[in-house]
Structure 1
Amino acid sequence: MLNRVVITGLGALTPLGLNVKAFWQNIVDGKSGAARITKFDPSLFRTQFACELKDFNVAIHLDRAEIKRTDPFTQYALIATDEAIKDSGFDLSTMDPFDVGVIWGTGQGGMETFEQQVTEYALGDGHPRFSPFFVPKFLTNMASGMISIRNGFMGVNYTPISACATSNTAIMEAFNHIRLGHAKIIVSGGSEAPITPASFGGFSSMKAMSARNDDPQGASRPFDVNRDGFVMAEGAGALILEEYEHAVKRGAKIYAEITGAAMTADAYHMTATHPEGIGATRAMQKALKESGINVADVDYMNMHATSTHVGDLSETKAISALGSSAELNMKISATKSMTGHLLGAAGAVEAIISILSIQNSIIPPTINTETLDPEIPSDLKIVLKESINHKVKVAMSNTFGFGGHNATVVFRGV
Structure 2
Amino acid sequence: MFCDFIANDSNLLRCFIIAVKCGRIRAMASPAVSAPKRETDPKKRVVITGMGLVSVFGSDIDNFYNKLLEGQSGISLIDSFDASNYSVRFAGQIRDFSSEGYIDGKNDRRLDNCWRYCLVAGKRALDDANLGQQVLETMDKMRIGVLVGSGMGGLKVFSDGVEAMLQRGYKKMSPFFIPYSITNMGSALLAIETGLMGPNYSISTACATANHSFCAAANHIRRGDADIMVAGGTEAGVTAAAVGGFIACRALSHRNDDYEKASRPWDTSRDGFVVGEGSGILVMESLEHALKRGANIIAEYLGGAVTCDAHHMTDPRPDGLGVSSCITKGLLDARISPEEVNYINAHATSTLAGDLAEVNAIKKVFKDTSEIKMNGTKSIIGHGLGAAGGIEAIATIKAIKTGWLHPTINQYELEPQVTIDTVPNVKKQHEVNVGMSVYPES
Same fold (TM over 0.5): yes
Question: Are 1:16 and 1:31, in contact at CA under 8 Å, matched by a contact in 2?
Answer: no
What do the CA deviations read for 1:57-77 (whole angstroms, capped 9, x no partner)? Answer: 345642222214422111100
Tell me, what secondary structure is at the counterpart of 1:321? helix
Question: Are 1:275 and 1:313, in contact at CA under 8 Å, matched by a contact in 2?
Answer: no
Report the counterpart of residue 97 of structure 1 in structure 2: 141
Moved more, 54-63 or 84-93: 54-63
Report the counterpart of residue 437 of structure 2 in structure 1: 397
Report the counterpart of residue 346 of structure 1 in structure 2: 388
- Structure 2: how far apart are the matches of 1:103 and 1:196? 24
Moved more, 56-65 or 258-267: 56-65
- Structure 1: how far apart are the matches of 2:237 and 2:145? 26
Candidates 167, 172, 191, aligned match of 1:123: 167
- Structure 1: how far apart are the matches of 2:316 and 2:206? 13
TM superposition shift of 1:196? 1.1
Tell me, what secondary structure is at the counterpart of 1:10? strand
What do the CA deviations read for 1:121-157 (whole angstroms, capped 9, x no partner)? Answer: 2223x45311111111101101100000000100000
Question: Are 2:303 and 2:330, in contact at CA under 8 Å, matched by a contact in 1?
Answer: yes
Tell me, what secondary structure is at the counterpart of 2:435? strand
Which amino acid in structure 1 is aligned with residue 440 of structure 2? F
What do the CA deviations read for 1:364-390 (whole angstroms, capped 9, x no partner)? Answer: 11000110122x242x12211011111
By relative contact order (CA 8 Å, sep 6+), the higher-ranking structure is 2
Matched, 1:112 2:156: yes
Which amino acid in structure 1 is aligned with residue 387 of structure 2? A
Question: Are 1:195 and 1:234, in contact at CA under 8 Å, matched by a contact in 2?
Answer: yes
- 1:221-260 equivalences in 2 (<5 Å): 221-260=264-303
Tell me, what secondary structure is at the counterpart of 1:119? helix
Q: 1:93 to 1:369 in 2, by over 3 A?
A: same
Report the counterpart of residue 37 of structure 1 in structure 2: 78
What do the CA deviations read for 1:307-352 (whole angstroms, capped 9, x no partner)? Answer: 0011001000010101323x55211001100110000000000100
- 1:106-185 equivalences in 2 (<5 Å): 106-124=150-168, 126=169, 128-185=171-228
Candidates 381, 397, 406, aligned match of 2:421: 381
Which amino acid in structure 2 is aligned with residue 369 of structure 1? Q
Which segments of 5 or more consecutive residues in structure 2 lack a partner in the other structure?
Answer: 1-40
TM-score by length of 1: 0.93
TM superposition shift of 1:206? 1.5
Which amino acid in structure 1 is aligned with residue 381 of structure 2? T
Candidates 404, 412, 423, aligned match of 1:362: 404
- Structure 1: how far apart are the matches of 2:238 and 2:424? 28
- 1:70-85 equivalences in 2 (<5 Å): 70-85=111-126
Report the counterpart of residue 50 of structure 2 in structure 1: 9
Question: Are 2:307 and 2:326, in contact at CA under 8 Å, matched by a contact in 1?
Answer: yes
- Structure 2: how far apart are the matches of 1:250 and 1:328? 41
Question: Are 1:117 and 1:130, in contact at CA under 8 Å, matched by a contact in 2?
Answer: yes
Which segments of 5 or more consecutive residues in structure 1 lack a partner in the other structure?
Answer: 405-414
Report the counterpart of residue 61 of structure 2 in structure 1: 20
Candidates 125, 129, 151, aligned match of 1:88: 129
Which amino acid in structure 1 is aligned with residue 206 of structure 2? A
Moved more, 64-73 or 165-174: 64-73
Q: 1:146 to 1:127 in 2, by over 3 A?
A: closer
TM superposition shift of 1:251? 1.2
TM-score by length of 2: 0.88
Question: Are 1:13 and 1:79, in contact at CA under 8 Å, matched by a contact in 2?
Answer: yes
- Structure 2: how far apart are the matches of 1:64 and 1:150? 14
Q: Runs (4+) of structure 1 moved beyond 6 Å?
A: none
- Structure 1: how far apart are the matches of 2:415 and 2:351? 12
- Structure 2: how far apart are the matches of 1:16 and 1:283? 32
Question: Are 1:17 and 1:26, in contact at CA under 8 Å, matched by a contact in 2?
Answer: no
Which amino acid in structure 2 is aligned with residue 366 of structure 1? T
What do the CA deviations read for 1:194-243 (whole angstroms, capped 9, x no partner)? Answer: 11111110101121010000011100000000000000011101100001
Candidates 306, 317, 333, aligned match of 2:375: 333
Matched residue pairs, number? 398
Provide the aligned C-alpha RMSD in A. Answer: 1.4
- Structure 2: how far apart are the matches of 1:349 and 1:362? 17
Report the counterpart of residue 55 of structure 1 in structure 2: 96
Question: Are 1:297 and 1:329, in contact at CA under 8 Å, matched by a contact in 2?
Answer: no
Which amino acid in structure 2 is aligned with residue 253 of structure 1? N
* Identical aligned residues as a percent: 42
Moved more, 152-161 or 380-389: 380-389
- Structure 2: how far apart are the matches of 1:310 and 1:385? 22
- Structure 2: how far apart are the matches of 1:253 and 1:47? 44
Report the counterpart of residue 105 of structure 2 in structure 1: 64
- Structure 2: how far apart are the matches of 1:39 and 1:282? 41
Tell me, what secondary structure is at the counterpart of 1:134? coil
